[in-house]
Amino acid sequence: MTGTGESPRVLDLTGPLAIYGTRLMADLGADVIRVEDPAGDSIRRSPPFAGDVPDPEKSLAHLSFNTNKRSVTLDLRSARGQEIFRRLVKTADILVETFSPGYLETLDLGYAALREINPGLIMASVTPFGQTGPSAAWEASEITLWAMSGLMSITGDSNGPPVLAAQGYLVTGVAGLYTAIGSYLGLLARRLTGEGQHVDVSAQEALASTMVQGLVEYLFNQRITGRMGAKHGHIAVAGNYTCKDGFWSLSIGSAEHWHRLVEWIGDQELATNPALADEPERYRVRHLVNEKIEAWARQQTRAELVAEGQARQLPVASINTAADLVADPQLGARGYFVAVDHPTLGTFRVPGLVTDVLNRPRFRPAPLLGQHNEEVYGEIGLSQEAVQGLREAGII
């Protein structure tokens, strides 16, 4: 369907590194077809599960990342499966895959072969280290990528071990975001050139692209950031601070913020040093500044600090849990959570789009395994009998 007025069609052969990227494209209107092994994709086996019951339809990662997609099953290792896959590719705008570099070539389904049958195809290959280079074949997981990208060197206490942030979901998130960006760039380029292309995304580089402050600092001054616990490594006042009953978050991003904070704290030494209104000078003496803030805040509760800070128009915050987020009036008012009707789990809410509050579309739940076999294979011209035959042969 290359170059038509329709929404793009995406074939989705992805694991954790790109599965959020194809979810984003599905949310934004693309027809995303998940092509799963007849036994079900491995994401369906990842815990936790709804009701804590291990079941391929109840993995929360599956329910979250496959919202709005369709599912077909297909055995890509069989010759008949490969033939059907090529027919699917003919109808697709984008193919996203996360196999080890070179694997699809062994099935004769690499980019060079697929381009022959669909010159307009944009194929995005998302791997831990990219398609080329000495580490291209290395094994990886979320935590090893967090470490190899530099991010783990700035996550953790200086006197404790380096830490993976947020259980590794951020790796899935950022690699997925670049997956979507690369895919859309390919679509837009095709409008100019008439041709598809191969998009090679490295998850290590995707994560390392956020290390710009530390990298440039090192290149200028040969200094590394290190683990700063709950503080920003490159901004004087930014991060979680201790208070009487736990923690709160405070950031000072401008001279106005600084003046408001100093007035609030009422500390003579901070107030009488006008140079501290300028970020570079404040950063130079940040340890002193932060000790004063911590000592002052330890006298007050989190609720007091957050309420008063907001009244003073400062970027303050409490440290939210999932329960806080679900109850949050701001997310509620914007309709951020969207209800879906799942055939077996009933109605539940999923995270929705991060834009476009006026036009939140209807969402469909993550598909059952092979739910759209008849529909999708019918669209590429297979009869009901043919589909039944494939099912009996174990191809789908």
Partner 1 sequence: MPRLPLENVRVIDLTQAVAGPFATMLLADYGAEVIKIESRTRADLARRWRPFAPGKEQDLNGSGLFASLNRNKKSVTINLKHPRGVELVKRLLGRGDVIVENFSARVMAGLGLDWPAIRAANPQIIYVSMSGFGHTGPHRDWPSFNMTIQALSGLSFLTGFPDQGPLVIGNSWADFVGGLQATVAILAALERRARTRQGERLDLSQYEANVTLLGPVLLDYLLNGRVENRRGNRRADIAPHGSYPAKDPDTWCVISVADDAAWARFAEALGAPPWSLDPRFSTGDGRLEHADELDRRIGEWTARRPAREVIEHLQAAGIAAGLLQTEADLACDPQLAQRGFLQEVLHPVLGRIPLPGTPMRLSGTPGSARAPSPRLGAETEAVLSEILGLTSSELADLARSGALT
Residues 51 to 90 in contact with partner 1, rule: CB under 8 A: 51-52, 60-61, 63-65
Q: Is 235 in the site for partner 1 (CB under 8 A)?
A: yes
Q: Which residues, 318 to 337, sit near partner 1 by CB under 8 A?
A: 318-326, 329-331, 333-334, 336-337
* Residues near 219 by beta carbon (within 8 Å), at least 6 away in sequence: none
The token pair at 123 is 């194929």
Q: What is the CA radius of gyration of the chain?
A: 25
**Span 214-233, contacts to partner 1 by CB under 8 A:** 214-222, 224-233
Tell me the per-residue interface mask from 19 to 58 with partner 1, x by CB under 8 A, - otherwise.
Answer: -x---xx--xx----------------xxx-xxx------
Q: Which is nearer to partner 1, 238 or 395 (CB)?
A: 238
Tell me the angle at which helices 169-193 and 19-27 cross, rounded to the nearest 10 degrees: 60
CA distance 388 to 158: 60
Q: How far is the CB of 81 from partner 1 (least distance, A)?
A: 25
The residue behind tokens 């970020």 is 279
CB of 375 to partner 1, least distance (A): 23
Q: Tokens 């042969």: give the residue.
A: 393
- Under rule CB under 8 A, which residues in 245-274 are in contact with partner 1? 246-251, 253-254, 257
Give me the amino acid identity at 45: R
352-371 residues near partner 1, rule: CB under 8 A: 352, 354-358
Q: Which is nearer to partner 1, 11 or 43 (CB)?
A: 43
Task: Return the residue of 91, 100, 144, 388 that touches partner 1, per CB under 8 A.
Answer: 144
Say how far apart CA 179 and CA 17 lie, in whole Å. 9
Neighbours of 145 (CB within 10 A): 25
Which window, 77-85, 97-105, 276-284, 385-393, contacts partner 1 (CB under 8 A)?
276-284
* Total binding residues toward partner 1, as defined by CB under 8 A: 164
Residue number with CB closer to partner 1 (193 or 268): 193
From residue 383, give the alpha-carbon distance in Å to each of 169, 197, 228, 389, 391: 41, 32, 61, 10, 12
